[in-house]
């Protein structure tokens, strides 16, 4: 399922020297970091629903973030956060549902017997996957990450009317792909571990996602990702 969408000219990143954009002036703003997988979830959702004009991106430098962000915009001081209807809300899994429910564009919650229940099960498993894989980076990933990726492979067999977790592209795919994208790069580069080996459904899922323009525009820089993760997980 390839989708076409116009390549967006991304706004410049704001840091501690940048002025704060207006707050609660009627503009809907999505505060992100271009390198953050949590923010990427909401960014993909926005793009897929064609909301580039309705929801403006405000990218932040998380290593040199503006003081006004915590003081005046979002006390949690994390991304993503969405400024909408005179309030600012956070948490990526809540926000992808919020954007899907409160804005136009194609629905990302397919109906059908068992799909909503299965979607909630899978979305709740994202934290487990992330915990196991991130923890493995300090140990021996080849021995530790097989089970969660096998879990995804099995889940991708449940609905056969498309290559995605619920058959058709949905919030479940959006919840997973920013992290799977990074895990695939880092595990391959550092440990020569191929997450798709012996997992044909997972391989096909990644291949199909890479045809979706709304996602492709949000992908991380592999070299920057490897350098950042080596510093984070492999330095004593």
List, for residues 102-132, the tens digit of each pLDDT value: 999 999 998 877 899 999 999 999 999 999 9
> What confidence score (pLDDT) does residue 112 get?
78
List, for residues 43-102, the tens digit of each pLDDT value: 999 999 999 999 999 999 999 999 999 999 999 999 999 999 999 999 999 999 999 999
List, for residues 17-27, the tens digit of each pLDDT value: 999 999 999 99
In the predicted structure, residue 217 carries a pLDDT above the cut 90: yes
> What confidence score (pLDDT) does residue 6 get?
63
3-state secondary structure the chain: CCECCCCCCCCCCECCCCCCCCCCCCCEEEEECCCCHHHHHHHHHHHHCCCCCCEEEEEECCCCCCHHHHHHHCCCCCCCEEEECCEEEECHHHHHHHHHHHCCCCCCCCCCCCHHHHHHHHHHHHHHHHHHHHHHCCCCHHHHCHHHHHHHHHHCCCCCCCCECEEECCHHHHHHHHHHHHHHHHHHHHHCCCCCCCCHHHHHHHHHHCCEHHHHCCCCCHHHHHHHHHHHHCCC
List, for residues 145-194, the tens digit of each pLDDT value: 999 999 999 999 999 999 999 999 999 999 999 999 999 999 999 999 99
pLDDT above 70 coverage of the chain, percent: 97
> What confidence score (pLDDT) does residue 5 get?
55
Q: Indicate the pTM of the whole model.
A: 0.96
For residues 83 and 86, give the distance between their C-alpha atoms in angstroms, rounded to a whole number.
Answer: 7
> What confidence score (pLDDT) does residue 159 get?
94
Within 8 A by CB and 6+ apart from 139, the residues are none
For residues 119 and 197, give the distance between their C-alpha atoms in angstroms, rounded to a whole number.
Answer: 25
In the predicted structure, residue 144 carries a pLDDT above the cut 50: yes
Cβ atoms within 10 Å of 84's Cβ, excluding its own: 20
In the predicted structure, residue 39 carries a pLDDT above the cut 60: yes
Within 8 A by CB and 6+ apart from 197, the residues are none
> What confidence score (pLDDT) does residue 2 get?
43
């Amino acid at each position: 399922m390839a989708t076409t969408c116009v390549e967006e000219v991304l706004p410049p990143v704001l840091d501690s020297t940048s002025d704060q954009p207006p707050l609660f002036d009627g503009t809907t703003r999505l505060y992100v970091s271009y390198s953050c997988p949590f923010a990427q979830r909401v960014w993909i959702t926005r793009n897929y629903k064609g909301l580039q004009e309705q929801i403006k991106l405000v990218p932040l430098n998380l290593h040199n973030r503006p003081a006004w962000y915590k003081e005046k915009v979002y006390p949690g001081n994390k991304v993503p956060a969405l400024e909408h209807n005179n309030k600012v809300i956070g948490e990526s899994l809540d926000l992808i549902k919020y954007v899907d429910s409160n804005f136009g564009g194609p629905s990302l919650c397919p109906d059908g017997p068992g799909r909503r229940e299965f979607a909630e099960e899978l979305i709740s498993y994202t934290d487990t996957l992330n915990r196991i894989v991130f923890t493995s980076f300090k140990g021996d990933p080849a021995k530790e990450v097989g089970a969660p990726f096998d879990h995804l492979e099995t889940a991708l067999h449940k609905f056969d009317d498309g290559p995605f977790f619920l058959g058709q592209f949905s919030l479940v795919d959006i919840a997973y792909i920013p992290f799977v994208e990074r895990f695939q790069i880092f595990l391959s580069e550092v440990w020569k571990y191929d997450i798709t080996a012996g997992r044909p459904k997972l391989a096909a899922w990644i291949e199909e996602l890479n045809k979706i323009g709304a996602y492709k525009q949000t992908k991380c820089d592999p070299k920057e990702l490897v350098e950042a993760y080596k510093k984070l997980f492999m330095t004593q």
